[in-house]
Amino acid sequence: MKEEYVEKIKGMFRPAVHKYIAASRRRMFFNAKRQIESYIETSPDTKRNLFVDCGSNIGQGFGFFSKLFKPGEYDYYLIEPNPHCEQALKKIVDEHKDKCTIDFINKAVCADSGTIELLSFDNDLLSEGSSILPEHGSCDKSLQYNTSYEVEKLQFSDFIKEQSIQYDKIIVKMDIECAEYDVLESLIKNDLHIKINLLIVEFHSGFMSMKNRVKYKKRERKILKSLEKDSVPTVIWI
């Protein structure tokens, strides 16, 4: 009886909570967009520019960011490990290859090389929430993974090091479902974060259980402190 009462109370407040979260995310989105537009307005012109889309899914990020960082002015890498997203991303490459250098990499952005299991959902093959870390989604039983794929890793520090030789400006959008902590810590450790001219990153501690959230929030604060100390322009994405 007590459990039924608790669930009833939760049900009463759930619509208001969802409305509040949606409003907060809208505010975060417009704030992030303003920061990006401000960076574009004040950033010096450069000849060779690259946009790296880490966690491309089926191209939603490209659809938005290509309006700000225009193909032709920027080359593009679309990086996504989910094999089910390959067709959609290759279509984008084909549609834009006459405007700029654009390529798709079917790998998971990581701090090291090798292979790893990509955790996902068998009822949502194109899920935006697929992750290489089981901590992701631990805040909600409905987000528990029930299938996986073995995927190749892309050692991102080496990748950025190579691209920095070719390009004057590198923009990185990073939405990689909890893998951002290891990847950014690796970049900072190897002094390669300073090769990034603008970092647009979504942190995913909010999708974790409280125990994991506290641990990852601590790492997040340390990462942001290092980025600020070394003057790496950073925008928190949603």
Q: What are the tens digits of pLDDT across the range 225-238?
A: 999 999 999 999 98
Question: In this model, does residue 16 exceed pLDDT 60?
Answer: no
Q: Which residues contact 123 (CB under 8 A, 6 or more apart)?
A: none
Pairing between β-strand 75-79 and β-strand 49-54 as defined by DSSP bridges:
parallel
Structure tokens at 14: 């759930």
Confidence bin at 8 (pLDDT 50/70/90): low
Task: Please give the Cα distance from 28 to 1 (Å, whole number).
Answer: 40
Q: Confirm if 170 and 52 have CB atoms less than 8 A apart.
A: yes
Q: Please give the structure tokens belonging to residue 224.
A: 């942001």
> pLDDT value at position 144?
73
Query: How far is residue 223's CA from residue 42's CA, in Å, rounded to a whole number?
Result: 25
How long, in residues, is the chain?
238
What distance in Å separates the CA atoms of residue 117 and residue 130, rounded to the nearest whole number? 10
Cα dihedral 228, 136, 118, 79 sign: negative
The per-residue pLDDT for range 26-46, each reduced to its tens digit, is 898 999 999 999 999 999 999
Residues 203, 176: contact at Cβ < 8 Å? no
Which is it for strands 147-155 and 115-120: parallel, antiparallel or unpaired? antiparallel
Spatial distance between the Cα atoms of 172 and 53, rounded to a whole number of angstroms: 6
Q: For residue 177, is pLDDT > 60? A: yes
Judged against a pLDDT cut of 90, whether residue 138 lies above it is answered with no
Confidence (pLDDT) at 11: 60
The pTM of this model reads: 0.90
Q: Return the residue matching tokens 């032709």.
A: 72
Structure token digits, residue 147: 């299938």
At 49, is the pLDDT very low, low, confident or very high (cuts 50, 70, 90)?
very high
CA dist list (Å): 145 to 118, 139, 235? 10, 12, 29
Burial 2-32 (b: 16+ CB within 10 A, else e): eeeeeeeeeeeeeeeeeeeeeeeeeeeeeeb
Q: DSSP for 20-58? A: HHHHHHHHHHHHHHHHHHHHHHHSPP-SSEEEEEES-TT
